[in-house]
């Protein structure tokens, strides 16, 4: 579980642990790492935007055989209208949401169990085919880009892993806000159910939390 200090990633850890799974999960700060340990997970320090952190992941996971990998880490910086992002906003968003997965996920190649599932938490806001709003265009661009990253991994790892991009729904987290549609419990329980039912035919798909397809 990559990015599990809070929000949807944290809920994935809680539910998989409650189901008796062994879980390895990452957080950036000591408090997040302690919380993960208290849940019975193996906790690893990882800032996905930090090249050194990403590059030590492969040896930290040496010998592992991961059945499910979920990349949850992400940021949403709201940018008004069609205002160009500042360099800082652009870099912070693209480093966490795009460069992070491009650095971290290849490190996991040798740590996957045969037929493993890789799920990247993208967003419907990254869909180009299904788009009907232009709000937060920087975030949208980052999620469209990570969709491309996931699609490439699905081709590179075909036969080795089933790779999907998920829209988790609009979820009540710090990012989604209290007025969102879904609790983290419901979103994650839906996605766990979908993950359990995935077959090789699903490799490279963009799915809603309930398993219905979303246009790229
Ligand atoms: N909530 C929604 O409605 C919604 C909708 C669509 C898609 N999503 C996507 O779902 C994912 C999880 O969202 P959420 O709602 O759980 O968000 P959240 O509550 O804001 O949590 C974000 C998580 O990502 C971690 N993170 C951020 N930048 C990181 C970095 N550079 N390295 C490592 N970890 C990092 C955070 O860690 P720290 O605690 O260290 O900051 C935190 O654990 C995101 O990718 C988001 O884009 C969410």
For ligand 1, the distance from its centroid to the CA atom of residue 10, given in whole angstroms, is 10
Cβ(126) – ligand 1 distance below 6 Å = no
- CATH value at residue 143: 3.40.50.720
In a domain, 100, yes or no: yes
Number of domains in the chain: 1
pLDDT tens digits along 71-89? 999 999 998 999 999 999 9
With cut-offs at 50, 70 and 90, classify the pLDDT of residue 206: very high
Q: Is residue 48 included in any domain, yes or no?
A: no
Q: What angle do CA 9, 125, 46 make, to 5 degrees?
A: 30
Phi and psi torsions of 114, nearest 5°:
-55, 135
Ligand 1 centroid to 193 CA: how many Å? 21
Q: pLDDT tier at 152 (50, 70, 90 boundaries)?
A: very high
Whether residue 21 lies inside any domain: the answer is no
Domain that holds residue 200: 57-208
Residue 26 in domain = no
pLDDT digits (tens, 9 = 90+) for 87-138: 999 999 999 999 999 999 999 999 999 999 999 999 999 999 999 999 999 9
Sorting pLDDT into bands at 50, 70 and 90, what band is 60? Answer: very high
At residue 180 the predicted structure's pLDDT band, cuts being 50, 70 and 90, is very high
Ramachandran sector of residue 169 (left: φ over 0; alpha: ψ -120 to 50; beta: rest):
left
pLDDT (average), residues 1-18: 98
pLDDT of residue 41: 98
The reply to whether 182 falls in a domain is yes
Going from the Cα of 132 to the center of ligand 1, the distance in angstroms, rounded, reads: 23
Return d(Cα 142, Cα 89) in angstroms, integer.
11
Q: Is residue 215 part of a domain?
A: no
Is 169 domain-assigned?
A: yes
Mean pLDDT score across all residues of the chain:
97
Please state the atom number of ligand 1 nearest to the C-alpha of residue 171: 3
pLDDT at site 39:
98
Determine the average pLDDT of the residues in 196-208: 98
Domain presence at residue 78: yes
């Amino acid at each position: 579980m990559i990015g599990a200090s809070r929000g949807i990633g944290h809920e994935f850890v809680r539910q998989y642990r409650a189901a008796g799974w062994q879980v390895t999960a990452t957080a950036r700060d000591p408090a997040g790492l302690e919380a993960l340990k208290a849940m019975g997970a193996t906790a690893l320090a990882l800032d996905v935007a930090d090249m050194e952190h990403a590059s030590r992941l492969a040896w930290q996971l040496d010998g592992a055989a991961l059945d499910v990998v979920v990349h949850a880490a992400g940021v949403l910086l709201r940018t008004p209208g069609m205002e160009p992002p500042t360099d800082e906003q652009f870099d912070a968003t693209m480093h966490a949401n795009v460069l992070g997965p491009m650095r971290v996920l290849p490190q996991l190649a040798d740590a996957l169990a045969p037929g493993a599932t890789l799920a990247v938490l993208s967003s419907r806001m990254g869909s180009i085919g299904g788009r009907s709003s232009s709000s937060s265009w920087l975030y949208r661009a980052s999620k469209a880009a990570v969709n491309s990253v996931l699609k490439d991994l699905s081709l590179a790892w075909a036969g080795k892993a089933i790779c999907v991009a998920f829209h988790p729904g609009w979820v009540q987290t710090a990012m989604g806000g209290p007025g969102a549609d879904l609790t983290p419990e419901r979103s994650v329980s839906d996605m766990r159910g979908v993950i359990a039912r995935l077959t090789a035919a699903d490799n490279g798909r963009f799915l809603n939390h309930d398993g219905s397809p979303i246009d790229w």
